[in-house]
DNA sequence: AATATAGTTGTCTGTATGGTAAACTAATTG
DNA sequence: CAATTAGTTTACCATACAGACAACTATATT
C-alpha cells in the first residue's frame, strides 16, 4: 500500500458546498480544486469528471445523512411525532445554514435534481434514487399512523408523495425567498394533508431534534 | 425611425426555451444567439448581459401567461372550481410539454429561481415577484371559498402559501422524475390542505380548461 | 535498502466563452 | 435624395475552461 490521503473526501465536501451555495452549472473544476486545496492533476486522479464527483459526493453525503433521518423517524416514536420532528428538523437545520452561509439553501437534492435533470443522466438517476429513499421514511410513518388509527390514509404511498411534494416545496420556497419562517409551520401543511386535527397536536409539540456531533 | 425587427423577441423566446429545457448556467450567449438566429453583436445591442435578457424574457412571458391564469381563476367561477381547474391545467400543460420536448419541464420560475437565487440578484428579484403574483390567485380563491362557507380557512394567506408550496413541489417533482402522473391527482393534495371532503368534488370534475389560441 | 504502489504537482493544449469595436446595411423622415 | 436613426455583421481579443500528461514524492511492504 502506498500512502493515504483525504483529498478525495475534501473534493467531495467542496463540490457539495459549492453546488449547494451556488449551482452545479456555475461550479467549475478549478473552483472545486481550490476550495478543497487539491491540484487539478489530483482531481483527475480520483474522478473522471465533475458529474462523477458530484454523484459520488451526493451518494456519500446521503449515507451520512440517512443516520439522522433514522433517528428522527425512529419506529419507537408515535408516527405523527416522527413527521412533526422531521418538520422541526428542517426549520432548525435551515436556520443553522442561514447562520453559517447567510442564506437559506433548501434541499440539495432537489436543487441539483431540478437543475440537471434534463442534462446529466448519471447524476439525475442518483438524485432520484436518494429522493425515493427519503420518501420511504414518510411512507412508513404514514402507514404506521394509519395502522394506529391516528389518521385515515389507506394509501400510504400516495399520501407520502403528497407530503414529499409539499415538504420539498416548502424547502424550495425557503431557498428562493431566502426565508426560513415558512418552515416553522411546515408541519401544519403535513398534518392538513393527513387530515389531522392540528389543535390537538399543536398544544403538545414534539421534543427538539438532537443534532448529532 | 430606422428599420424594425423582431430579433429582440426571438432572443427572449430562445432564452426561455433553453433555460427551461436545460438550465440557466449551461445556457450560453452563443447558444441563445444561434437558436434565435441573431448575431452576437445584435445581442449586445439589445441586452447588456445574459441575466438582463433572462429577466426581460421572464417578465414578458409572465405578462402573456397571466391572461391564462385570469381565465382559470375567473371570479365568476366557484372558488374551489378555480383551484381544481388550476391543477387540471398543470396536468394538461405539462403533458403537452412532454409531447413537445420529450420531457416534463415543470415550472420555469421555480427551476430558474432555485438555480440562481444565490448568485443573480436582479433575476432573483424578478422571479420572486412573479411567484408572489401567482400566489395571489390562490389566495383570493381561498378567501372566496372561506367566505362562501366551502371551507374553514380564516387565514387565506397562510393557506395559499401552503398550497403554493405543494403545487410547485408537485411540479418540481414532475420535472425531476420526468413524470406527469403525479399531476393528475394534484388537486387531491390541494383539497386536503383546505380540508375539503374530496369525495363530493371528485364525482363532479370541473370542465376542461380551454387553451387560448 | 529495494521496489511497488498510492498520491501529487505544474504545465500544456485546444477550445469555448463573454465582451468590444468598428464597419456596414436598411428603413424612415424631412 | 440626403440625413438620420435603427439594426446587423464580422472580426477580434483576453480569459477561463476541461482535460491530459509526464515528472515527481511519499508511504508501505518485503
Tell me the chain A residues in contact with residue B180 when contact means C-beta distances shorter than 8 Å.
Answer: none
> B23 and A26 in contact by Cβ < 8 A?
no
B 44-73 residues, CB < 7 A, strand C: 44, 49-50
Give Cβ neighbours of residue B21 (< 8 Å, ≥ 6 apart): A118, B101, B103, B105
The pLDDT value given to residue A208? 45
Mean pLDDT on B78-97: 98
Q: What is the pLDDT of residue B202?
A: 43
A76 sits within 7 Å of strand C by its CB: no
- A42 CB closer than 7 A to any strand C atom: yes
Q: What percent of chain A has pLDDT over 90?
A: 87
List, for residues A152-197, the tens digit of each pLDDT value: 999 999 999 999 999 999 999 999 999 999 999 999 999 999 998 7
Least confident of B31-35, B38-42, B187-191, B194-198: B194-198
| pLDDT above 70: residue A203 | no
Q: How many CB pairs under 8 A join A and B?
A: 139
Instruction: Measure B83 CA to nearest chain A CA, in Å.
Output: 16
Task: Supply the pLDDT for residue A198.
Answer: 62
In angstroms, rounded to a whole number, what is the distance separating the alpha carbons of residues B118 and A192? 31
pLDDT of B209 higher than 60: no
How many Å lie between the alpha carbon of B2 and the closest alpha carbon of chain A?
Answer: 39
Residues of B in contact with A138 (CB under 8 A): none
- Domains of chain B and CATH, by start: 7-202 (1.10.357.10)
Low-confidence winner among A32-36, A172-176, B166-170, B203-207 (lowest mean pLDDT): B203-207
Name which of A111, A90, A98 is nearest A211 in CA terms. Answer: A90
pLDDT at B3: 75
Higher pLDDT, B3 or B102: B102
pLDDT number for residue B199: 55
Return the pLDDT at A138: 98
Cα(B211)–Cα(A207) distance, integer angstroms: 50
Contact B110 A115 (CB under 8 A): no
Interatomic distance A59 CA / C5 C1' (Å): 27
Is the CB of A41 within 7 Å of strand C?
A: yes
Of A21, A131, A170, the CB nearest to B118: A21
Dmax (CA) for chain A in angstroms is 62
Provide the pLDDT for residue B210: 45
Query: For the stretch B83-117, what's the b/e string if a residue is b when 16 or more beta carbons lie within 10 angstroms of its beta carbon?
Result: bbbbbbbbbbbbeebbeeeeebbbbbbbbbbbbbb
Interface contact flag, A176 B116, Cβ < 8 Å: no
Asked whether residue B29, judged by its CB, lies under 7 Å from any atom of the DNA or RNA strand C, the reply is yes
Count Cα neighbours of A142 within 13 Å in the Cβ-side half-sphere. Answer: 24
Chain A residues touching residue B23 (CB < 8 angstroms): 23-25, 115-116, 118-119
Q: How many CA atoms lie within 13 A of A110 on its CB side?
A: 31
Are the beta carbons of A131 and B176 separated by less than 8 Å? Answer: yes
CB contact under 8 A, A165 and B161: no
- Given a cut of 90, whether residue B200 has pLDDT beyond it is no
Across residues B156-173, what is the average pLDDT? 98
Query: Which of A162, A164, A180 best tests the B interface by mutation, with the highest count of B CBs <10 A?
Result: A162
Averaged pLDDT for residues A56-75: 97
- pLDDT score at B198: 62
The answer to whether the Cβ–Cβ distance between B23 and A185 falls below 8 Å is no
Distance measured from the CA of protein residue A48 to the C1' of nucleotide C14, in angstroms = 19
Distance, Å, B29 CA → D3 C1' = 35
Q: Could you report the predicted ipTM of this complex, rounded to two decimals?
A: 0.90
Give the model's pLDDT for residue B82. 98
B118 secondary structure, DSSP code: T
> Which pLDDT score, from 0 to 100, does residue A200 have?
46
Which residues of chain B lie closer than 8 angstroms to A111, CB-CB?
Answer: 114-115
Nearest Cβ partner for B169 among A124, A172, A182: A172
Mean pLDDT of chain B: 92
Give A103's pLDDT tier (boundaries 50, 70, 90).
very high
Q: CB distance B26–A25 less than 8 Å?
A: yes
Rounded to a whole number, what is the largest CA-CA distance in chain B?
Answer: 62
Closest by CA to B90, choosing from B202, B19, B172, is: B172
Residue A207 in this model has a pLDDT that exceeds 60: no
pLDDT digit string (tens) for B114-150? 999 999 998 999 999 999 999 999 999 999 999 999 9
Give nearest nucleotide to B38 (CA–C1'). D8
Closest CA to A112 of A50, A49, A64: A50
Amino acid at each position: 500500500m502506498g500512502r493515504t490521503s483525504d483529498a478525495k473526501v475534501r473534493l467531495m465536501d467542496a463540490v457539495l458546498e459549492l453546488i449547494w451555495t451556488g449551482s452545479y452549472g456555475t461550479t467549475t473544476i478549478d473552483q472545486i480544486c481550490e476550495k478543497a486545496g487539491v491540484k487539478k492533476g489530483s482531481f483527475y486522479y480520483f474522478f473522471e469528471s465533475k458529474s462523477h464527483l458530484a454523484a459520488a459526493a451526493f451518494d456519500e453525503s446521503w449515507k451520512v445523512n440517512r443516520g439522522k433521518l433514522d433517528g428522527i423517524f425512529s419506529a419507537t416514536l408515535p408516527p405523527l411525532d416522527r413527521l412533526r420532528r422531521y418538520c422541526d428538523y428542517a426549520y432548525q437545520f435551515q436556520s443553522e445554514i442561514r447562520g453559517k452561509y447567510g442564506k437559506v439553501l433548501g434541499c440539495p437534492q432537489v436543487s441539483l435534481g431540478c437543475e440537471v435533470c434534463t442534462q446529466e443522466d448519471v447524476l439525475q438517476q442518483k438524485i432520484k434514487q436518494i429522493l425515493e429513499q427519503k420518501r420511504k421514511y414518510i411512507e412508513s410513518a404514514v402507514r404506521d399512523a394509519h395502522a394506529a388509527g391516528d389518521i385515515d390514509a389507506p394509501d400510504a404511498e400516495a399520501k407520502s408523495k403528497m407530503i414529499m411534494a409539499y415538504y420539498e416545496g416548502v424547502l424550495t420556497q425557503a431557498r428562493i425567498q431566502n426565508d426560513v419562517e415558512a418552515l416553522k409551520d411546515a408541519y401544519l401543511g403535513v398534518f392538513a394533508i393527513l387530515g389531522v386535527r392540528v389543535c390537538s397536536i399543536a398544544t403538545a409539540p414534539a421534543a427538539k431534534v438532537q443534532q448529532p456531533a
